[in-house]
Structure 1
Amino acid sequence: MHVMEAYLNGHATTIRSEGQALRAVDLVVEYLKTVKQVSAPLSFWTPSRQLDFAGWLHRTHQHGAATIERVINVLGAAMNDAAAVKMRLDAIGQPVEGAIVSHVPKIVYQGERIAKELKLPPPKKGGYVPTMVEMATFIDALETPHLRRWVIMALNTWARPEAITDFTPAAQYDRRLGAIDLNPPGRVQNDKRRPALPITRGLADWIDHWQAEDLARFEQRYGRRPNEEIPLLVYKLKRVGTVKKAVKRIADEAGVPELTQYSTRRFMATMVRKLCPFVTRERRSMWLGHVVEEGSSTTDHYEGFAVEALEEVAIATDFVISELQKLTKTKLFAIEVRLNAAELRRIGANPKSKKALLDNGLNGGRCRVRTCDPSRVKGVLYR
């Protein structure tokens, strides 16, 4: 119990998933009370106890393998944190360097093993990916301006939710280079790497439109120009810190309950792969901020950022959003973006009719992708 309390008061307060950590700790405590082991030492968590805890989570709370894995991972994180040597507060509140324990049990049950032992469906890899129709339905259900702005930024950047709510154009948008840096000044890169990207034409137009709109509204309300930049995402006169609950509520009401604040990221990566076959996996990975295993791990440091390296992904992003626009009433472009034949050839894209998109004709059978064919060559690519 002391270890869990130390974790909640320490490291857990610094992570975005603090709410999940709090819930996981509550479940651990509830389980320990059920088995009458509230004061159990860390050695209590043997592999057999971990499996018993997993079974209890499924029986008592109907959790699936993925949720059980997340709860057990929090338990493991708390134990590992207790064994880490770092600055802590002692019994009288004085900072001391040390660890709470010297050794901790190893967490041995992960998603697939949990599913196998408990005879549950295995966790889906990669998570839920909405269809074009589902994403359009969700977008049209958004009513407040800040959520519409959020989803447009999410579609154009494929960024994680926190990177979007943190984004400040004055510090992160270089109009001269036509690039945005999703990592704000002062933030140290971590495992959730935030890349620098060429800005899409759609997002560049929106930022200009939003800033002009916000400036006009401010001057009308206060009779003067603002002293500092107005945040792009504002709700009830306060900067938006998270959209998690709002997205979940609206997705449920719109009939797409599996859609979350992360779904736009998976949606865009998947649709670019399906609709723009000439955009390589390496380029998609770079856009997502994933580490690409090519050459030295310090290559990025020496090469710097080249906008042209990810130009194809930016073009493909504008293309996918233009296809999505065929299914939505909500404006996805401040100024209509039309890709020319050369750009469509470059990414291997072929615009679809609204009917084809409604029929979800992206899956099944042998996938034949027709390239744009202004010369009537009728070339067909197979993949």
Structure 2
Amino acid sequence: MKKISLLGATGSVGTQTLAVIREHPDVFSVSAFAFGANIRKALPLIREFKPELIAVKNKAVADRLHIELSGNSKVVYGPEGMIEAAAYGPSDMLVNAVLGSIGLEPTLAAIEAGKTIGLANKETLVTGGHLVMEQAKRRNVPVLPIDSEHSAIFQSLQGQDKSAVTRLILTASGGTFRDRRRDELQDVTVADAVQHPNWSMGAKITVDSSTMMNKGLEVIEAHWLFGVPYDRIETLIHRESIVHSLVEYADHSMIAQLGVPSMLVPIQYAMTYPSRLELKQTKRLNLWEMGTLHFQKVDLKRYPAVALAYAAGKAGGSMPTVLNAANETAVDLFLDGKIRFLDIEPLVGDALDHHQIIASPDLDAIEEADRRTRAFVHSRIK
């Protein structure tokens, strides 16, 4: 029985992780469970999966949860509570499905505790990839990707000579507005932006998909996960989301992972690696039913967020931290109706231009750069 610590349990990836566990109750159990403040959604899950440790956003949520719960679960809260859940002693594996850079410190704590990492929180590697991968190597801890694109690359590398890799190609749906020109995006609303054509995701990730900042962040994540330089990581728009990513080798052969759009597959693969289990909740891919698959190069003028991400990644140091913090803040402002959709990328660009790079930031420096960047972005709003 593999015991799982799950962060972000009430979010999209979190609930799908629980769906995998539900399908295989003889293989997995939930030992620690972290969520923010959505008690209504969390309570039925807590009662079903019976975690020993529960971490929540703050003391007020913890107090409310105590009233609702009866049993032996321990309830903790705040950043320290999330770290405790991530590194919980009886757990074998952390599935980090929390949103944002708050996932970095719990990941580091879980690595230090020797837990296998299943990573759906790309911001962890964007903001602190050097810290995470160095610590994982030192502790001999696997960091297994859960993002569909990185899982596809990971699967396409199995049994291969990694020194022969010449390109990683990350596919992208193109997002909600892929069929609109940039000059047609002046007045798009939040409601418009969160309607993804292929995937069911949270609002922030769906907006990131629309700007394609999501793909830019994934480029940085791929750099750290697979040790491939940025000039050998490419992006490709593939509107059907059937080919999840590709790896090219020295002989120009390409290996790709295909499947119907579903996060259940990469979640389960990380949890069962190197084995595979049946997954009844997913559909079989019949290529003849798809007809035609489409691919096109990413236009960096149409999607400047991708160019910003490459620039930040290549600059290295604290720049990816600034990229992520500025984007998170700008997207929050857009979702709150305080800026327009097309204001997101210029705000991120301003933050990058304003920042004095720190070459090899430690955790304190990363957190300070994150804090200063968020304050800077807010200061730019009139």
Larger radius of gyration: 1
Q: With structure 2 as the length reference, what TM-score do the two structures score?
A: 0.32
